[in-house]
Chains A and B, each alone.
Chain A
Amino acid sequence: MGRFILRRFMYMNVVILVVSMITFGLMHAVPGGPFDREKALPAEIIANLEKRYNLDKPLWQQYLMYLNDVFIPQFSKTAPTSNLEDDALITFKVSGNLWVRWMNFGPTFSSRSRTVNDIFRQQLPISIQLGILALTVALTIGVPLGILAALKQNTIFDYLGMSIAIFGVSVPVIVLGPLMIWIFGVTLKWLPPTGWGTKPPYILGIFPSDLSWSFWRTAIMPAVALGLGSSAIIARLTRASLLQVIREDYIRTARSKGVKESHVITRHALKNSLIPVVTILGPMMAALVTGTFVTELTFGIPGMGKYFVTSITNRDYPVIMGTILLYAVFLVVANLIVDIMYAYLDPRIRYD
């Protein structure tokens, strides 16, 4: 197992490298530059701006410089300054006057006073918080609904449960969001229509520092709106998988041995039936975190989603690269965890 993880970890680096290469090539292949304006800038100013951001260098050189800034830890004898160029995601002091700076994702072209790392530090945690909450909503609704439907297959519970699940997935956030705002935010005034009840600094850089009602009241609607769609997917997968598992021989054996039905389900069937659910959790979490754009826009949440969408239209190269790479690492790690969980949940699977 240890060897497997190590090998996967090495592959991971290769995968990320390939992803960075494809993204870099693709985004530079899209016509239009970051400094195209309605009133065209003087050539000299464009040249200056391009020099400032190293866009005047050949593409391969830009790519290597980017890799160097992001992937390779930089050693320096001087302390980091508050200059934008000096903003690495990870900075620490090794000894007396030796500093290490790692993961400098560069500036953003859309804001002169911020770097991509600033966006990561301030916006990404919000998307992750929203994603975690949405996944929790999805699991709390999806798994019980799926189990109920499977145990009562082809009964009214099954149809009703699945109908609820499908309803969740078929009403897009685009419609559900404004509807919820209208009902709970404006008409009933139970919850604030928009906003996100926490702001930097975050605990561990990710988690809200304030978990009082003022946070939850802003989080409920977006988390439900975002999570509902995924709850359907989980419910149906749980149902399908559990149906399959409870017909397995070992379940029959357990039953025939007179083990209590609830015991059979909880101890034997559930664990195995959750394999497909686990498979989908990594990608789903990633999809939830990356797919927050509509939810963020609808509920006025200052998350990461819109940065990516606008970065493409603005040709904000460092943001495009940074976002894709960060999410790629996230996805790759999620997949690795899924594989490990696989082996854990189903001992018959071997990695060799």
Chain B
Amino acid sequence: MAKPVSLQNKEFGAGGKPISQKGESLWKDSMRRLMRNRAAVIGGSIIVLLLLLAVFADVIAPYPFAEQTLVDQNKLPQWVLSLFPTMEPYAQLSPKYFFGADYVGRDMMSRIIYGTRVSLTVAFIGPIISLIIGVIYGSISGYFGGRLDNLMMRIVDVLYAFPSLLFIILLLAFFRSTFARPAPGTFTYSVSQLDAAMGGLLFIFIGIGLTAWATMARLTRGQVLSVREKEFVEAARTLGANDMRIMFRHILPNVVGPLVVAETLAIPGYISTEAFLSFIGIGVNPPTPSWGSMISDGAQVIRTYPNQAVFPALALAITMFAFNFLGDGLRDALDPRLRGTQ
């Protein structure tokens, strides 16, 4: 999924030239069509922007994300008050914080900016893990079928039979408590230090990763099952193409569309899993800012200080829009049957 994006500039540099039919790779062709899709381009640009925000958060954010000024708690600027006039009777104004300050007087804007780091990491790690493992696993299973398929799918079934949210909670409880306060120098100590350095994200990744790929494997298999019976696969087979070639040249390009869509659709799921974990109090460690924890904090005060829920939720929504439109564009672009039709 990352590949076509990285090719973007190169492709763009070569753009404008009439594209020759023969030497045109599938990816290049796809890119051309992707660039024509306005919504996808906007989505992609937003994601690039968010990535920049995440990388340069230290420079852009006006305050450190953990700095509390207790006396400034819940203060907000005039424009926010105008936006939510219900706060009139009790709102305390302060122009210092653009989106207002949170319940302990931390700048909401800085936290949202830093929060892109956590949320984007969550948004990328989940899909990457599940795409890599799931697609390879699923296509092998679906393509070869028979006993191998059966065996592989039973393994997936076991994972799949676990209600994923519940499994993640159980896994997190296990990891967190097993790795709680071990003696320095041990392996568990290093792991817990790494987790602490990541603000508690490591175990969340492991939990999500362990549960997410199975879905992708199943979906891939389903798609492969349906495509491998198609005429062009039969044709390739009779022409003597080997399994690897059929799989990667003929089948995968034909199934990748729905997979990409499913994966971009899953991204909100990953991010909201993180928010859910924060909501039940087992998310990232404080004061690590994540949109999920900000939203779940904000949701509690939604009637009193709606801005504290609305702004992080808006950040999340914009990100979702971006990922979804980009995913959609990718799907349209990657569908080989659309080649040359637009």
In the complex the two chains form, what is the Cα distance from A348 to B231 in whole Å? Answer: 11
B313 touches A240 (CB 8 A): no
Residues in chain B near residue A332, CB distance under 8 A: 157, 161
Secondary structure dominating the interface of A: helix
Q: A172-B295, A324-B163, A328-B163 are in contact. Are A349 and B272 (CB under 8 A)?
A: no
Query: Given A243-B332, A276-B258, is A293 in contact with B303 using a C-beta cutoff of 8 Å?
Result: no
Do A27 and B162 form a contact, CB below 8 Å, given A170-B320, A335-B157? Answer: no
Give Cα distance in the complex from A243 to B319, angstroms. 25
Complex contacts, B328 vs chain A, CB 8 Å: 162, 236, 240
Which of A14-22, A58-66, A77-85, A253-261 lies at the interface? A14-22
Does A309 lie within 8 Å of B317, measured CB to CB? no
Interface string of A147-163 (1 = CB under 8 A from B): 00000001000010011
The verdict on A37 contacting chain B, using a C-beta distance below 8 Å, is no
Residues 156-175 of chain B: 1 if any A CB is under 8 Å from the residue's CB, otherwise 0? 01101111111101110110
B265 in contact (CB, < 8 A) = yes
Task: Check B275 against A174 for contact (C-beta < 8 Å).
Answer: yes
**Are A323 and B324 closer than 8 Å at their CB atoms?**
no
**Do residues B166 and A327 form an inter-chain contact, with CB atoms below 8 A?**
yes
- Bound together, the chains give a CA A335 to CA B222 distance in angstroms of 12
* B320: chain A residues within 8 A (beta carbon): 166, 169-170
Q: Does B88 make an interface contact (CB < 8 A)?
A: no
Q: Which residue of A lies closest to B266 (CB)?
A: A233
B173 touching A30, Cβ below 8 Å: yes
Give the shortest distance, in Å, between A123 (CB) and chain B (any CB): 15
Give the contacts of B256-304 with A (CB-CB under 8 A). Answer: 257-258, 261-262, 265, 268, 272, 275-276, 279-280, 295-296, 298-299, 302-303
With A and B bound together, what is the CA distance between A275 and B167 in angstroms? 27
A230 CB, nearest partner CB in chain B, Å:
10
Chain B binder among A91-99, A175-183, A217-225: A175-183
Within B56-105, the residues touching A (CB, 8 Å) are none
What residues of chain B lie closer than 8 Å to A32, measured between beta carbons? 177
Interface residue? A167 (CB, 8 A): yes
Interface membership of A274, Cβ < 8 A = no
Main secondary structure of the interface of B (DSSP, over half): helix
Q: Which residues of A contact B164 (CB under 8 A)?
A: 287, 290
Complex contacts, A26 vs chain B, CB 8 Å: 170-171, 174
Closest B residue to A275 by CB, please name it: B226
Q: Which A residues are in CB contact (< 8 Å) with B341?
A: 247
* B178 on the A face (CB < 8 A): yes
- Known contacts A30-B174, A332-B157, A247 near B338 by CB under 8 Å: yes
Residues B154 and A15 in contact, CB atoms below 8 Å apart: yes
Once the chains are docked, how many angstroms separate the CA of A294 from the CA of B337?
A: 42
Taking the nearest CB of chain A, how far is it from the CB of B293, in angstroms?
A: 11
Q: Looking at chain A, what size class is its interface with the partner chain?
A: 35 or more
Instruction: Report the Cα distance A327→B163, complex, angstroms.
Output: 6
Q: A29-B178, A328-B162 are in contact. Are A23 and B170 (CB under 8 A)?
A: yes
Contact pick for A294, options B167, B170, B276, CB 8 Å:
B276
- The interface centre, meaning the residue of A16, A174, A244, A293 with most chain B CB atoms within 10 A of its CB, is A174
Complex contacts, A293 vs chain B, CB 8 Å: 165, 276, 280
Residues of A within 8 A of B167 (CB): 324
Contact B265 A233 (CB under 8 A): yes
Contacts of B170 in A (CB 8 A): 23, 26-27, 30, 312, 320, 324
A237 within 8 A of B: yes
The 8 Å CB contact of B219, one of A30, A279, A308, is A279
- The one of A27, A240, A286 in contact with B258, judged by C-beta atoms closer than 8 angstroms, is A240
Asked whether B162 lies within 8 Å of A348 as measured between CB atoms, the reply is no
- Cα A26 to Cα B157 with chains together (Å): 18
Residues of B within 8 A of A (CB): 37, 39, 150, 154, 157-158, 160-167, 169-171, 173-174, 177-178, 180, 215, 218-219, 222, 225-226, 229, 257-258, 261-262, 265, 268, 272, 275-276, 279-280, 295-296, 298-299, 302-303, 309-310, 313, 316-317, 319-321, 324-325, 328, 331-332, 335, 337-338, 341
Chain A interfacial positions (CB closer than 8 Å to B): 11, 14-16, 18-19, 22-23, 26-27, 29-32, 154, 159, 162-163, 166-167, 169-172, 174-175, 177-179, 182, 229, 232-233, 236-237, 240-241, 243-244, 247, 275-276, 279, 283, 286-287, 290-291, 293-294, 308-309, 312-313, 320, 323-324, 327-328, 331-332, 335, 342, 346, 348-349
For the complex of A and B, 6 pairs with smallest distance between CB atoms? A170-B320, A327-B163, A290-B163, A170-B317, A328-B161, A240-B261
Q: A172-B272, A175-B309 are in contact. List 4 more A-B contacts (CB 8 A).
A: A11-B154, A14-B154, A174-B296, A279-B218
Ordered by A's residue number, 27 sampled pairs between the chains whose C-beta atoms are within 8 Å are: A19-B161, A19-B162, A23-B170, A26-B170, A27-B170, A30-B174, A31-B178, A166-B317, A166-B320, A167-B317, A169-B320, A169-B324, A170-B319, A172-B275, A172-B295, A175-B302, A175-B309, A182-B303, A232-B265, A236-B261, A279-B218, A286-B163, A294-B279, A308-B166, A312-B169, A331-B160, A335-B218
